[in-house]
């Protein structure tokens, strides 16, 4: 049975590392991978395929660096051609990117069964492109694999009990990934030494969301806050190309450490050794929790509300006072993880088993 997986952006490569491995356990599943090309720099794409052993994409559409409409439209057109040729039983899409919605629309209009992994998440902020992508993808999917009970509740609240869609709470594939690779990645000091930082004495920060990078006032406010944190503990930011470009265009100065985007293994090394994580990434909020670090989220909402409700995460937006308060709150607190909020690390096995049954 043929499954076409649509990938395009960094977090999707990470998730596919677990799911593709699980598909391999089922000889009746043949996976064909389509990379839209949305993320294309070697350190935003290729490094994940190489170090995580993700099968090489069968197609690379090389569609990137365009506005939302042009990017999504061109992807839709090209993915449709591939699906007509490949005639899969299922199309699998992940998360909430432009590659996700393009893959979903192409599949559904050809009446191919659509599978959405990481379904049911909501930020309730309709200005985020990701929120639009995920709501629309969920609505036209045939199988929704949800990572959390919150996701299931979100779908119920939207009336999914009356929609002919299969909903499965399978846990979070990112937990599968973290558990698997944590064992394989040695605690190597090379990176910490190169960055001149000490274990437990730096703040790991990532930031790339359009709502933070594209409004100059917000971007400036966040940089000012990061400079204030940097006075207490060094801040290290693997810098996303969108963020680097916006900062350069505005001629803003950075007074903390930045590095080029890192592969998954180096990110694990930094998370494990960090004091606190500061981010606007969805994935990193959970990875902080997997590796028992508190997280401060540079957004006005999060899809991962269970982290906030259980005291592992504080939402501060771009407000400097709230950020400093959250930092003081977490700085000397000990992390007690309790029962896992994201399943037992077997989400990808549940997904592959279900797909293998047709």
The yes or no reply on residue 9 touching ligand UD1 (CB under 6 A) is: yes
Cα–Cα distances (Å) from 309 to 118, 288, 304, 315, in that order, read: 20, 15, 9, 11
The yes or no reply on residue 35 touching ligand UD1 (CB under 6 A) is: no
Residue 325 CB, nearest approach to ligand UD1 (Å): 26
Residue 121 CB, nearest approach to ligand UD1 (Å): 11
Q: Which of 17, 44, 93, 106 binds ligand UD1 (CB under 6 A)?
A: 44
The residue with tokens 């029962």 is 339
DSSP designation for 192 = H
* Inter-helix orientation angle 98-109/68-86, to 10°: 40
Q: Which of 55, 234, 241, 311 binds ligand UD1 (CB under 6 A)?
A: 241
208 tagged catalytic: yes
C-alpha–C-alpha distance, residues 37 and 15, integer Å: 16
Q: Which stretch binds ligand UD1 (CB under 6 A): 91-99, 161-169, 193-201, 334-342?
A: 91-99
Q: Which of 21, 35, 208, 299 binds ligand UD1 (CB under 6 A)?
A: 208
C-alpha–C-alpha distance, residues 57 and 174, integer Å: 20
The yes or no reply on residue 11 touching ligand UD1 (CB under 6 A) is: yes
Nearer to ligand UD1, 96 or 172 (CB): 96
Q: Which of 1, 26, 30, 40 binds ligand UD1 (CB under 6 A)?
A: 40
> Does an H or E element contain 116, and which?
strand 113-117
Structure tokens at 195: 């960055």
Residue by residue, DSSP assigns 166-189 as EEEE---HHHHHHHHHHHHS---S
Binding footprint of ligand UD1, residue count (CB under 6 A): 19
Q: Which residues bind ligand UD1 (CB under 6 A)?
A: 9-11, 38-41, 44-45, 64-65, 96-98, 129-130, 208, 241-242
């Amino acid at each position: 049975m043929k499954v076409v997986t649509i990938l395009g952006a960094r977090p999707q490569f990470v998730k596919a590392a677990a799911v593709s491995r699980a598909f391999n356990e089922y000889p009746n599943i043949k996976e064909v991978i389509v990379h839209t090309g949305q993320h294309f720099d070697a350190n935003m794409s290729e490094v994940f395929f190489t170090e995580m052993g993700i099968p090489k994409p069968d197609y690379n559409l090389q569609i990137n660096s365009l506005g939302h409409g042009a990017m999504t439209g061109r992807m839709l057109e090209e993915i449709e051609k591939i699906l007509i040729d490949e005639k899969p039983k299922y199309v699998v899409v992940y998360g909430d990117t432009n590659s996700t919605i393009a893959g979903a629309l192409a599949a559904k209009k050809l009446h191919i069964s659509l599978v959405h992994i990481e379904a049911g998440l909501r930020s309730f902020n309709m200005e985020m492109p990701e929120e639009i992508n995920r709501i629309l993808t969920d609505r036209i999917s045939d199988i929704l694999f949800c990572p959390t009970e919150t996701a299931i509740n979100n779908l119920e609240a939207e009336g999914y009990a009356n929609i002919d869609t299969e909903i499965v709470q399978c846990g979070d594939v990112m937990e599968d990934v973290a558990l698997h690779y944590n064992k394989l990645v040695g605690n190597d000091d090379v990176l910490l030494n190169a960055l001149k930082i000490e274990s437990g004495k730096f703040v790991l920060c990532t930031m790339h969301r359009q709502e933070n990078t594209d409004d100059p006032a917000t971007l400036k406010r966040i940089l000012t806050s990061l400079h204030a944190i940097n006075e207490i503990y060094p801040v290290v930011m693997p810098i996303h190309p969108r963020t680097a470009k916006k900062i350069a265009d505005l001629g803003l100065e950075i007074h903390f450490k930045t590095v080029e985007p890192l592969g998954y293994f180096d990110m694990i090394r930094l998370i494990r050794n960090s004091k606190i994580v500061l981010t606007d990434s969805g994935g990193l909020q959970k990875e902080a929790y997997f590796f028992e670090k508190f997280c401060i989220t540079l957004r006005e909402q999060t899809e991962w509300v269970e982290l906030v409700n259980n005291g592992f995460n504080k939402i501060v937006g771009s407000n400097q006072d709230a950020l400093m308060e959250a930092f003081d709150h977490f700085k000397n607190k000990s992390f007690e993880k309790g029962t896992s909020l994201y399943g037992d690390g077997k989400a990808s096995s549940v997904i592959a088993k279900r797909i293998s049954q047709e």
